[in-house]
């Protein structure tokens, strides 16, 4: 087969594979959305499954859907500079005292709202405890996460408290600039969270978020780069864990050095052979 014909055939095969992958993604999303909506209506499992299968069968690929041939797991996401790139979404929970990363995850889902529950579960599995306070920006605010925050606060006897920015106040919501008096009994969870963040305590607590988590990502970008080198979701996730571990090792080394200097312990250089 002539080289040009072989290259053309190879491109056609890749295009067919990309089309099949896009159709599979569209079917999976349609099935998930249909099952969620049906389950919320209170239908039984059989109806939920039937609705999901019907939605998957009738799913249509979006006209502007794209597929990355180099890394099919990556997805187009909007970056900090406003541009769009194929990327992964790296998440981390950071402790406030030492800026040590205590839980990580990496996904190809652009939005952050789906990461709160998995990250909290991973944190508990890793360290065996839950934090006293959880600070998150508006990208993590959703009805599901507010329900989870309330349930966890109740289950822990008030030991774990969430401070999630709610973003702009929607039409019809009642959030006073300076909350006073009792919270209205019919206030929604979003209104209650927005109200809490406008109190003096809420503003003070939430103001610490930028000083806790933002510097960690900045330090990783400066020291280790802002790109993962491995392709594929699983490998990229492992690389992100490695980057987080390297960040923690540097933090622990700095803490140990400061502790030795504070104790006035001499640092004796040694040569290994």
Q: Per residue in 10-27, pLDDT tens?
A: 777 777 777 787 788 888
Q: Per residue in 91-150, pLDDT tens?
A: 999 999 899 999 999 999 989 999 999 999 999 999 999 999 999 999 999 999 999 999
* pLDDT for position 174: 62
Mean pLDDT across 70-74:
87
The CA distance from 113 to 107, in Å, is 12
* pLDDT for position 218: 92
pLDDT band at 269 (very low <50, low <70, confident <90, very high): low
Q: Please give the residue that has the higher pLDDT: either 37 or 175.
A: 37
The CA distance from 176 to 184, in Å, is 12
Do 240 and 90 contact (CB within 8 A), yes or no?
yes
* pLDDT for position 59: 86
Query: In the block, which residue shows the tokens 């030991």?
Result: 159
Do 198 and 177 contact (CB within 8 A), yes or no?
yes
The CA distance from 69 to 178, in Å, is 53
Q: Per residue in 196-246, pLDDT tens?
A: 998 889 999 999 999 999 999 999 999 888 889 999 999 999 999 999 999
* pLDDT for position 82: 85
Q: Please give the residue that has the higher pLDDT: either 259 or 51.
A: 51
Taking only Cα atoms into account, the Rg of the chain, rounded to an integer number of angstroms, comes to 24
Give residue limits of the domains in the chain. 3-67, 84-254
* pLDDT for position 273: 43
Q: Which 3 state secondary structure label does DSSP give 251?
A: helix
The CA distance from 20 to 14, in Å, is 10
Q: Is 183 exposed, middle or buried (0-12, 13-18, 19+ CB in 10 A)?
A: exposed
| Of 193, 205, 119, 109, nearest in space to 153 by CA | 193
Write out the DSSP string of 214-241.
Answer: HHHHHHHHHHH-S---S-SHHHHHHHHH
* pLDDT for position 30: 86
Q: Per residue in 169-202, pLDDT tens?
A: 665 566 656 666 677 777 889 989 988 998 889 9
Count of CB atoms situated within 10 Å of the CB of 81: 6
Backbone phi and psi for residue 94, each to the nearest 5 degrees, phi listed first:
-120, 140
pTM of the predicted protein model = 0.74
Which residues have CB under 8 Å from 38's CB, separation 6+? 47, 48, 51, 52
Torsion of CA 165, 112, 42, 23, to 10 degrees: 150
* pLDDT for position 3: 77
Instruction: Give, in order, the Cα–Cα distances in Å from 221 to each of 215, 224, 243.
Output: 10, 6, 10
In the chain, DSSP finds a helix count (H) and a strand count (E) of 9, 6
The CA distance from 61 to 53, in Å, is 16
């Amino acid at each position: 087969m002539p080289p040009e014909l072989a290259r053309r055939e190879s491109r056609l095969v890749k295009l067919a594979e990309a089309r099949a992958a896009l159709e599979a993604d569209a079917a999976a999303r349609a099935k998930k959305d249909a099952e969620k909506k049906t389950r919320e209506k209170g239908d039984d499992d059989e109806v939920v499954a039937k609705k999901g299968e019907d939605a998957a069968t009738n799913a249509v690929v979006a006209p502007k859907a794209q597929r990355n041939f180099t890394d099919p797991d990556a997805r187009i996401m909007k970056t900090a500079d406003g541009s769009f790139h194929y990327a992964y979404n790296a998440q981390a929970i950071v402790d406030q005292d030492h800026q040590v990363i205590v839980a990580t995850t990496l996904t190809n889902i652009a939005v952050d709202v789906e990461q709160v529950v998995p990250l909290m579960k991973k944190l508990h599995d890793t360290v065996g405890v839950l934090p006293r306070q959880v600070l998150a920006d508006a990208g993590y605010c959703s009805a599901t996460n507010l329900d989870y925050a309330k349930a966890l606060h109740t289950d822990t006897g008030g030991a774990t408290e969430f401070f999630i920015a709610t973003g702009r106040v929607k039409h019809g919501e009642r959030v006073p600039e300076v909350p006073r008096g009792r919270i209205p009994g019919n206030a929604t969870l979003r209104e209650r969270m927005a109200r809490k963040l406008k109190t003096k305590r809420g503003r003070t607590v939430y103001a610490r978020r930028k000083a806790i988590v933002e510097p960690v990502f900045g330090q990783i970008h400066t020291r280790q780069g802002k790109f993962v080198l491995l392709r594929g979701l699983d490998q990229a996730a492992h690389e992100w864990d490695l980057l987080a571990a390297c960040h923690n090792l540097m933090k622990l080394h700095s803490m140990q050095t400061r502790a030795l200097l504070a104790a006035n312990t001499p640092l004796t250089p040694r040569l290994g052979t």
